[in-house]
Amino acid sequence: MLCLVVTSCTRVDSPVEPVAARSDTAAPPTSVNATFTPSPDVPDPSPYNDLSDVPNFEHVVLIVLENEDYEKVIGNDRMPNLNRLAQQNVLLSNYFAVEHPSLPNYIALVSGGTQNITDDCNDCFVDQPNLADLMEANGRTWKAYEEDMPSPCFVGDAGGYAQKHDPFIYFDSIRLNADRCQRSIVPMTQLDQDLAANQLPDFAFVMPNLCNSAHDCPLKTADTWVNDMVEKLQASPGFGENTLIAITFDEGDKKNTGSCCGMGAAGGRVATVLISPLARRGFEDGTAYSHYSLLKTLLVAWGLPDLGQTRQEETQPIAAPWIRPGQTQAEPQVSTPTAPDLTSVPSTPAVEGEQTFPIRAAFYYPWYPEAWDQNDLNPFTHYQPTLGSYDASDTNVIRQHIAAMQYGKIQAGIASWWGQGDNTDKRIPLLMQLGEQMDFHWAMYIEDEGYGDPSVDSIRSDLEYIRDQYASSPAYLRIEDHFVVFVYADRDDGCRMASRWTEANTVDAYLVLKVFSGYRTCADQPDTWHQYAPDLAQKMVGSHSFSISPGFWKADEDQPRLERDLERWNLDIQTMVATPSKIHLITTFNEWGEGTSIESATEWESSSGFGLFLDALHKDGLP
């Protein structure tokens, strides 16, 4: 029996993002494109609070756009460029503004507090320490580049320039020092000159005008402006390996008071993208952050004192795991990925005896041979499995599958289950039998919820069936002595789904529900949560689960949605191993139709016989 004992786990939840469609034989494909509004009064501190994980950036460029909720930006086809940048770089999907309206957010971004400013005033100057003061005292340079500003250190509004979007002008120590102010708060035209002369300051605050920021003009306008600005910065001679571009929004819709990190009602969740050669590509971090977190990241990176709210324990810097391994303060100029020091991180334990989290599990599909023939394609895959178009009822095939997963340090298979009497159900007894013989474990992945809303009675019937037919097997995965059930979900699911499953769970199953919009605020909570997102290289659902995918190339699509990349796969594995989530998920062992399989194929065979992707798991992603 595999029994998992919970060790200390910080509760950190992650929002739902668009994921790829499922390809299966019993139901039409589905996709998820949900949104998330977390509770305004539940702090979610980051588990990644090792300050050494913040690189010593040479340059940081902060671009601020205006007044849009996260849900209006991410997934919006009117902002294709920003969404592409989010997909290719780092998306902070649980990041919050601190207040309404605009000005308090800008002030907070550079001083660690709103300084009691509550509106967009032009004469509410303050005498308070700020980021610029600390940087100059430390010998570092900074500039604010303001589009349509008529002249350096201009006070007031003019055309497309709004003073409320220029936080540094509000600080007496800057505004009242004419030489300093005119040198450092300048029109946007100065940026081109500084880039051409390779004189980008250590910190550059880049503010578009009222149109290009999306304040007065459509999102498409801001999207084009951002794309052009990022391309200009990346093409400049000063953009080196140790540069960071951060793109965020000052606040969400004024009706949105979503919050995190102990702030109370705040400025809503906003889209934030990090672009840097130091960063993992295609990474999404669902840790709860705020504008104060971004400021603290800069303070930590440059060894500066805390400011205001950055002193609070709830305010964590934006550190690992978005930085590629090896790219920390001690090695700021490293240009190629290196393996992190994992000597203190235990390998995934063997299955015998009492275990501790995390457990490594892989999604598994016992729906062959039926699934080989779909949409007039046979076999329904771009690849050539080493075992050919096999039958999941073949004992020899299942033995080889279990041996392959064990080689990859996978402790459990999560078997797709389409209900009582389905072909997948008929193959579960063989999985259990061979699991008992080979000391391997299985759990069920109940798929029906992803294609409808089964009743409480129907759910209870399925749970009782799994308990009675399979859960007594020593091969069935158990956590805290409860048999484990994973549950898929669809784009329309919400808290009622969680309520149905928790009400139906009179058999004491350990429920692992798939996340949906607003899942964290539901009154009825399962035992833990997971995400199934095969077109994302990595997906963290806080302390609940962390999943990785080798690639996604659906059989009836011309181009992959996620390219296979062994170097990236190894780094993803390293990150997964070092992440303190309860369950580490592999998406997938053998979903050939979506091209997410790590099972051996002709395209990635290796001398071990298990294939390159399982070789990497066997080594925990290390060389």
Q: How many domains does the chain have?
A: 2
User: Per the domain annotation, does 225 fall within a domain?
Assistant: yes
Q: Is the pLDDT of residue 330 over 80?
A: no
The per-residue pLDDT for 332 is 31
What is the reported pLDDT for 51? 53
Bridge partners of residue 126, in order along the sequence = 171
pLDDT at 43: 28
pLDDT band for position 327 (50/70/90)?
A: low
72 and 14 assigned to the same domain: no
387 and 304 belong to one structural domain: no
**How much is the average pLDDT of 195-224?**
96
pLDDT band at 521 (very low <50, low <70, confident <90, very high): confident
Residue 164 and residue 244 in one domain:
yes
Is residue 125 within 8 Å of 172, Cβ to Cβ? yes
The pLDDT value recorded for residue 325 is 58
* Residue 322 within a domain: no
- Note whether 142 and 56 are same-domain residues: yes
Q: Is the pLDDT of residue 111 over 50?
A: yes
- Looking at the fold, whether 267 and 393 belong to one and the same domain comes out as no
Q: Specify if 341 maps to a domain.
A: no
Among the three residues 255, 285, 311, which one is the final residue of a domain in this structure?
A: 311
Beta strands in 528-609 (DSSP E): 528-530, 538-541, 545-548, 583-586
**How many C-beta neighbours within 10 Å does residue 30 have?**
18
Q: What is the pLDDT of residue 52?
A: 53
pLDDT of residue 276: 92
Q: What percent of the chain has pLDDT over 90?
A: 75
Q: What is the pLDDT of residues 220-273, one digit of tens each?
A: 999 999 999 999 999 888 888 889 999 999 999 989 999 999 899 999 999 999
Residue 541 structural domain: 3-36+354-618
Q: Specify whether 568 is located in the same domain as 443.
A: yes
Provide the token pair at 524: 């009825």
Predicted TM-score of the model (pTM): 0.53
- Over residues 444-466, the mean pLDDT reads 96
Does 428 share its domain with 294? no
Residues 298 and 371 in one domain: no
Count of other CB atoms within 10 angstroms of residue 43: 18
Domain co-membership, 410 together with 550: yes
Yes or no: say if 73 and 249 are a contact pair by the CB < 8 Å rule. Answer: yes
Tokens of 444: 């069920």
The per-residue pLDDT of the chain, averaged, comes to 86
319 exposure class (CB count in 10 Å sphere: 0-12, 13-18, 19+):
buried
pLDDT at 41: 29
pLDDT band at 307 (very low <50, low <70, confident <90, very high): very high
Domain-embedded: residue 329: no
Domain boundary among 248, 281, 311: 311
With beta carbons less than 8 A apart as the criterion, state whether 511 and 527 touch. yes
pLDDT one-digit tens code per residue, 311-325? 998 898 997 567 765
Provide the token pair at 351.
């299955």
Any domain includes 496 = yes
Question: Where a domain ends, among 282, 311, 340?
Answer: 311
Residues 9 and 56 in one domain: no
Residue 459 lies in a domain: yes
Query: Would you say residue 347 lies in a domain?
Result: no
Mean predicted confidence (pLDDT) in 101-114: 97
Mapping DSSP to helix (H, G, I), strand (E, B) and coil, where does residue 343 land? coil
For position 102, which CATH number holds?
3.40.720.10
Position 12 pLDDT exceeds 80 = no
What 3-state class would DSSP assign to 173?
Answer: helix
pLDDT, tens digit (0-9, with 9 covering 90-100), for 55-94: 889 999 999 999 999 999 999 999 999 999 998 899 999 9
Task: Let me know whether 109 and 235 are in one domain.
Answer: yes
What span, in angstroms and rounded, lies between the C-alpha atoms of 361 and 587? 9
Say yes or no: 58 and 32 in one domain.
Answer: no
User: Residue 538 belongs to a domain with what CATH number?
Assistant: 3.20.20.80
Tell me if 346 is assigned to some domain.
no
